[in-house]
């Protein structure tokens, strides 16, 4: 914003401010006056309410709540004992400010009447029918008290009538057993007490209401038992607002003078700070070429800000030009030096490229040789896979003997160290699963050798007893391995079963691999001998177990690949206990479903882990 515009706006503000201040002070005065009158009006309304009605609050609360008050008055009504009434009711006159007290029975017969003898006595201005018209104390009643006013000569009498019930009628379902009536006389003595308490003038009015101007007046209507206005109370107070008004005007004048002096001081300070001081700093900067004098001008008015920025820019550009000239000289020297270094690097790179080309040719030759060898190895493995599959018996032969069966076979590599074997010799059906040393190609060769030896024992020698088969297998394996290495540690773990198809008798012998037998969904595990079929162990005979089979019996033969697999949440072995429970749980399923269940359980347990060994499980139902 320009300085000229600022000065015009500032002078306009100086001219408008006094007028605005006067208007504002007048509005403040009117608001304070209205607030004072409103507050005074509210105070007097509250005083009027208290003055007229507070004397009946005790009796009203007594009527709303069923208390010992009913028993207290009820005894006085029934006894009609003047001594009792004098001892209990007369104190109410002095304590509650009452003038008259009546007690009546259920038929509204006055049983006792006490009064302030210094005032006057008067007859009861209400009848039984009027009471029951306005107070109904049955179960449909909403009130049990009546409050009203009546005129007596030049006085106003305030009445409170309360029904009295016996203690066994706490729900007030019957008509009242009596009445208690209390009165207060509103006369000049009563109004004098109110004036002392509330600091207002109170008088009773029987004529038409009038409203005097410039004076605060409140009227409180007094009604009889039928709800008709019979008189008014007129409350007035002195209006002392003039003194407040004078005090406020004096304070407003002092504030106005203070504000004018403050504006003059601000004007002088503004001209010095915004005009004189910036001009002085600009001149000092031009003389000394020191930019510290215009640092504060950047936040000032538009003109001084632009001037300070132009001066600062001029000196900055001059310094920058000098710096740039020095930098150009230094950069030219650096460029010449870098040119020589680049030429040296280029010559070195050319020599390196020639060496890399020679190495690449050697690597290509090695890669071709590796690829050729891998191809030959893969072909050899595929050939070994075909040979091993040719050695394995046809699963259809097993199905022809036992229609309900499955073979769950999951080798770790292309060829396996695990194998299954079954053969029929006369009335005997022989079935076995075996785990040879190692897996892959070494295990496959061992499995082919063991299969051939089993065929020699079973097919040619026709040995069908399970324990004897394992004993003979150990002898032949020892003879075969002794030809190559007397210290050979190769061995076979095997579970072998021989089933007599006529007598339904099953023989089992095992080397480390157990026999799982399920009958009526109850599983039992037949433990094997804890010695391998190997050349380096003693000639201790294998145990031959026998079982009498029944229809629907199920048995399982398996190698250790399933329960040694790592997996699960804790990355632990599956374990023989879980395997036993799993076989028991799936034994009542169809055999195709059993095989699928084994596949799913194994994959879920293994997860992302590698398969650690060949897996083989054979299940057969009798």
Does any domain span residue 553?
A: yes
> Residue 238: pLDDT above 70?
no
What is the per-residue pLDDT for 7? 60
Question: Which residue, 558, 284, 591, is CA-closest to 418?
Answer: 558
Residue 159's beta-bridge partner residues?
148, 183
Does any domain span residue 344?
A: no
Question: Which residue, 388, 527, 540, is CA-closest to 475?
Answer: 540
Q: pTM for this one?
A: 0.44
Q: Give the Cα separation of 134 and 129 in Å (integer).
A: 9
439 phi-psi bin (left φ>0, alpha ψ -120 to 50, beta other):
beta
Question: Could you give the angle at the alpha carbon of 555 between the alpha carbons of 553 and 560, nearest 5°?
Answer: 165
| Domain count for the chain | 2
Top pLDDT among 329 and 83 is at 329
Comparing 169-183, 273-287, 333-347, 421-435, the range with the smallest average pLDDT is 273-287
Does any domain span residue 213?
A: yes
What is the per-residue pLDDT for 523? 94
Q: Using one digit for the tens of pLDDT, what is the confidence trace for 480-515?
A: 877 655 456 788 999 999 999 999 999 999 999 999
Q: 251-266 burial by CB neighbour count: b if 16+ within 10 A, else e? A: ebeeeeeeeeeeeeee
pLDDT (mean) for 323-342: 82
- pLDDT above 70 as % of the chain: 71
- Of 186, 205, 236, which residue sits at a domain end? 236
What is the per-residue pLDDT for 213? 47
Tokens 């031959």 correspond to: 544
Supply the DSSP string of 1-65, one letter for each residue: --HHHHHHHHHHHHHHHHHHHHHHHHHHHHHHHHHHHHHHHHHHHHHHHHHHHGGGHHHHHHHHS
Question: Could you give the angle at the alpha carbon of 141 between the alpha carbons of 137 and 147, nearest 5°?
Answer: 75
- Return the CA Rg of the chain: 61
> Residue 245: pLDDT above 60?
no
Q: Give the Cα separation of 584 and 576 in Å (integer).
A: 12
Residue 110's H or E segment, with its range, is strand 110-115
Q: Using one digit for the tens of pLDDT, what is the confidence trace for 78-118?
A: 766 677 777 777 777 666 667 888 888 888 888 878 777 77
Top pLDDT among 501 and 214 is at 501
- Of 209, 236, 263, which residue sits at a domain end? 236
What is the per-residue pLDDT for 343? 82
- Of 236, 259, 279, which residue sits at a domain end? 236
Q: Using one digit for the tens of pLDDT, what is the confidence trace for 27-71?
A: 776 676 666 666 766 676 676 666 666 666 767 777 777 666 777
Does any domain span residue 90?
A: yes
Comparing 32-36, 243-247, 364-368, 534-538, the range with the smallest average pLDDT is 243-247
Top pLDDT among 168 and 556 is at 556
DSSP-based three-state secondary structure for 148 = strand
Tokens coding 176: 């009242």
Top pLDDT among 431 and 328 is at 431
Does any domain span residue 345?
A: no
Is the CA virtual torsion 265, 271, 272, 278 positive or negative?
positive
Biggest CA pair distance of the chain: 151
What is the per-residue pLDDT for 122? 73
**Is the Cβ–Cβ distance between 283 and 289 less than 8 Å?**
no
pLDDT (mean) for 405-433: 92
Does any domain span residue 317?
A: no
Does any domain span residue 297?
A: no
CATH number, domain with residue 85: 3.30.450.20
Which of the four pLDDT bands, split at 50, 70 and 90, describes residue 157?
A: confident
**Containing structural domain, residue 417:** 392-621
Question: Which residue, 215, 181, 219, is CA-closest to 49?
Answer: 219
> Residue 468: pLDDT above 70?
yes
CATH number, domain with residue 398: 3.60.40.10
Q: Give the Cα separation of 153 and 185 in Å (integer).
A: 11
Residue 557's beta-bridge partner residues?
515, 618
Comparing 27-41, 181-195, 234-248, the range with the smallest average pLDDT is 234-248
What's the 3-state SS for 100-139?
A: EEEEEECCCCEEEEEECCCCCCCCCCCCHHHHHHHCCCCC
Does any domain span residue 212?
A: yes
The DSSP 8-state label assigned to residue 200 in this structure reads S
pLDDT (mean) for 362-390: 72
Which of the four pLDDT bands, split at 50, 70 and 90, describes residue 199?
A: low
The DSSP 8-state label assigned to residue 436 in this structure reads E
């Amino acid at each position: 914003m320009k300085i000229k515009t600022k000065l015009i706006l500032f002078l306009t503000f100086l001219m408008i401010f006094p007028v605005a201040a006067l208007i504002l002070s007048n509005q403040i005065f009117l608001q304070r006056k209205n607030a004072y009158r409103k507050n005074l009006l509210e105070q007097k309304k509250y005083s009027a309410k208290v003055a007229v009605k507070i004397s009946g609050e005790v009796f009203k609360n007594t009527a709303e709540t069923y208390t010992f008050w009913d028993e207290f008055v009820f005894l006085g009504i029934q006894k009609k004992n003047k001594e009792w009434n004098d001892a209990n009711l007369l104190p109410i006159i002095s304590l509650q400010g009452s003038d008259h007290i009546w007690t009546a029975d259920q038929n509204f017969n006055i049983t006792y009447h006490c009064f302030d003898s210094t005032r006057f006595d008067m007859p009861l201005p209400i009848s039984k029918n009027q009471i029951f018209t306005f107070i109904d104390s049955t179960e449909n009643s909403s009130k049990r008290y009546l409050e009203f006013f009546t005129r007596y000569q030049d006085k106003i009498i305030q009445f409170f009538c309360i029904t009295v019930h016996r203690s066994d009628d706490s729900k007030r379902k019957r008509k009242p057993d009596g009445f208690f009536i209390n009165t207060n006389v509103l006369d000049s003595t009563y109004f004098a007490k109110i004036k002392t308490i509330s600091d207002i003038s109170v008088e009773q009015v029987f004529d038409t209401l009038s409203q005097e101007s410039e004076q605060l007046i409140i009227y409180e209507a007094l009604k009889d038992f039928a709800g008709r206005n019979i008189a008014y109370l007129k409350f007035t107070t002195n209006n002392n607002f003039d003194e407040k008004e004078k005090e406020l005007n004096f304070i407003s004048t002092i504030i106005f003078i203070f504000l004018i002096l403050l504006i003059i001081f601000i004007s002088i300070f503004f001209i010095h700070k915004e005009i004189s001081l910036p001009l002085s700093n600009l001149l000092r900067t031009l003389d000394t070429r020191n930019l510290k004098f215009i640092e504060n001008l950047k936040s000032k008015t538009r003109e001084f800000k632009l001037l300070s920025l132009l001066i600062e820019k001029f000196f900055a550009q001059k310094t920058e030009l000098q710096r740039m000239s020095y930098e150009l000289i230094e950069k030219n020297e650096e460029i010449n030096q870098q040119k020589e270094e680049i030429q040296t690097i280029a010559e070195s790179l050319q020599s390196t490229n020639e060496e890399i080309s020679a190495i690449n040719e050697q690597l290509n030759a090695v890669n071709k040789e590796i690829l050729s060898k891998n191809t030959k190895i893969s072909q050899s493995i595929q050939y070994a896979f075909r040979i091993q599959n040719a050695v394995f018996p046809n699963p259809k032969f097993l199905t022809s003997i036992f229609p309900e069966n499955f073979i769950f076979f999951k080798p770790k590599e292309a060829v396996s160290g695990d194998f299954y074997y079954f053969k029929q010799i006369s009335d005997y059906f022989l079935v076995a699963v075996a785990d040879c040393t190692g897996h892959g190609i070494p295990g496959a060769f061992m499995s082919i050798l063991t299969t051939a030896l089993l065929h020699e024992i079973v097919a040619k020698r026709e040995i069908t007893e399970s324990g004897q088969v394992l004993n003979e297998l150990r002898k032949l394996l020892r003879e075969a391995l002794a030809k190559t290495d007397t210290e050979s540690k190769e061995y076979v773990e095997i579970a072998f079963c021989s089933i007599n198809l006529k007598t339904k008798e099953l023989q089992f012998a095992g080397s480390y691999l157990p026999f799982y037998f399920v009958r009526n969904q109850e599983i039992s595990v037949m433990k094997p001998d804890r010695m391998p079929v190997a050349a380096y162990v003693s000639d201790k005979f294998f145990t031959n177990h026998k079982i009498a089979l029944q229809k629907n019996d199920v048995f399982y033969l398996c190698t250790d690949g399933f329960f040694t697999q790592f997996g699960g949440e804790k990355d632990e072995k599956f374990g023989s206990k879980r395997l036993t429970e799993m076989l028991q749980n799936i034994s009542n399923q169809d055999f195709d479903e059993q095989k699928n269940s084994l596949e799913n359980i194994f994959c879920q347990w293994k997860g992302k882990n590698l398969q650690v060994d060949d897996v083989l499980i054979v299940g057969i139902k009798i």
